């Protein structure tokens, strides 16, 4: 029987009509999604039974659900440091990010511009290019994947956009971005500031984000359920992306996901309590020891964004070259480790990551990147097991590439 731990994922695989077996995998892809935390699962289950009504309905059952949403709004606002009315419940950060950009193009001057960093998530970059077309600018990072505040300040002296967008931490490299400094520069220049805090929340303290004009977040990145998130918007006003009902004070049509929202807030409460325990240095040490040992045991390993402050859970490295980087992912998966890659390999063609490209990596080097992202429940022993797994897989692939005489 598998241990009851969210750091191990049990995959049920059918062999025949009645035969099944379980495969335990150590999970190192938390930046993609984190397993549902038991406390969030319990909160969701309780909410399903307790809040059966539509929050918009006028009867007592509907009013009970509406009050539960208001209480959740107050809790999230307390973590962020904003007014509860500034919070809009959404389906996740992708929707929230699209709302921000849609709002900017609808409410801004006709020829306004929208600036975002070149390392943003596609759910920010793609709608920016779509809505602002030739009126957008991508702010480049340095070679360590961090956007320069000095360069932003200098550029703002020459021209001003409607909004500047900078994520809090990068999902691929783990590099922490100077979002507080960017907010201060935008305030000095009377420019609205938007921060995608998806990879930060639940891993580092949420306090301070309430000062930003717009903030987006997604529950499933820190142990909440998939399909629920939030948007913090200035003064509570935003041009809605979804039209229909008058839910969320007319800012987002559609019946709210009450169980999802309550589970998200419970997960964030758990993570904020863990953050107060103050063991971040220990987690940084585990990450750094893994990198150091990996470099010692495998020639050619390079750490991405090595000179930047990085998220305690994220390691992005250039591995020895193989014909397709996806082989690393497949072989590590078979060895019992779920990891991610820095490029998409399909039909023999590699698409380099836009983040790595912005950091001046060549397509060839971008195709060598693997990302390991841990969670709160990941242990020192898990990191050590991952190290042995990567070393083993590297040896296997080296033998496969050795020509037979």
What are the structure tokens assigned to 333, written together? 């998966």
> What is the DSSP annotation of 297-310?
HSTT-EETTTTS-B
- What torsion do the CA atoms of 213, 219, 222, 225 make, to the nearest 10 degrees? 180
Exposed / middle / buried, residue 254 (Cβ in 10 Å: 0-12, 13-18, 19+): middle
Q: How far apart are CA 264 and CA 40, in angstroms?
A: 7
- Which residues have C-beta within 8 Å of that of residue 149, sequence separation ≥ 6? 178, 181, 182, 185
Distance from chain centroid for Cα 321: 27
Asked whether the beta carbons of 343 and 369 are under 8 A apart, the reply is yes
Query: Would you say 202 and 223 are in contact if contact means Cβ atoms under 8 Å apart?
Result: yes
Would you tell me how many other CB atoms lie within 10 Å of the CB of residue 122?
11
Show the CA angle centred on residue 107, arms to residues 104 and 108, nearest 5°.
Answer: 70
Is residue 212 flagged as an active site residue? no
Cβ atoms of 145 and 175 closer than 8 Å = yes
338, 27 contact by CB (below 8 A): yes
Of 82, 186, 195, 345, which one is the catalytic site residue?
345
- Kindly list the catalytic residues: 345
């Amino acid at each position: 029987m598998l241990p009851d731990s969210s750091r191990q994922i049990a995959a049920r695989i059918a062999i025949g009509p009645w035969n099944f077996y379980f495969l335990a995998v150590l999970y190192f892809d938390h930046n993609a999604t984190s397993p549902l935390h038991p406390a969030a699962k319990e909160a969701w289950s309780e909410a399903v039974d307790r809040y059966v009504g539509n929050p918009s309905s006028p009867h007592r059952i509907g009013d009970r659900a509406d009050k539960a949403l208001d209480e959740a709004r107050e809790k999230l606002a307390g973590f962020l440091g904003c007014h509860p009315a500034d919070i809009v419940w959404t389906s996740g950060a992708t929707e929230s990010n699209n709302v921000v950009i849609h709002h900017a193009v609808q409410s801004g001057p006709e020829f306004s511009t929208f600036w975002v960093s070149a390392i943003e998530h596609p759910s920010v970059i793609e709608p920016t290019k779509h809505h602002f077309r030739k009126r957008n600018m991508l702010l480049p990072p340095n070679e360590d994947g961090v956007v320069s505040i000095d360069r932003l300040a200098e550029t703002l002296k020459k021209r001003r956009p409607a909004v500047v967008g900078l994520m809090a931490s990068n999902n691929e490299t783990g590099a922490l971005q100077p979002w507080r400094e960017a907010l201060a520069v935008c305030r000095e220049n009377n420019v609205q500031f938007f921060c995608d805090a998806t990879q930060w929340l639940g891993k580092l303290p949420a306090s301070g984000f309430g000062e930003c004009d717009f903030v987006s977040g997604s529950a499933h990145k820190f142990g909440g359920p998939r399909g629920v998130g939030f948007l913090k918007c200035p003064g509570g006003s935003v041009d809605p992306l979804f039209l229909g009902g008058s839910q969320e004070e007319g800012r987002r049509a559609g019946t709210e996901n009450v169980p999802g929202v309550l589970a998200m807030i419970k997960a964030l409460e758990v993570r904020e309590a863990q953050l107060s325990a103050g063991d971040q240095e220990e987690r940084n040490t585990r990450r750094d020891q893994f990198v150091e040992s990996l470099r010692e045991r495998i020639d050619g390993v390079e750490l991405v964004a090595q000179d930047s402050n990085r998220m305690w859970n994220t390691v992005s490295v250039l591995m020895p070259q193989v014909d397709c980087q996806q082989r690393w992912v497949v072989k590590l998966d078979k060895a019992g480790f779920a990891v991610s890659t820095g490029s998409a390999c399909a039909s023999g063609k590699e698409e380099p990551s836009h983040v790595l490209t912005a950091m001046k990596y060549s397509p060839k080097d971008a195709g060598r990147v693997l990302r390991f992202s841990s969670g709160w429940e990941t242990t020192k022993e898990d990191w050590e097991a991952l190290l042995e797994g990567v070393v083993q897989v590297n040896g296997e692939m080296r033998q496969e590439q050795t020509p037979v005489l």
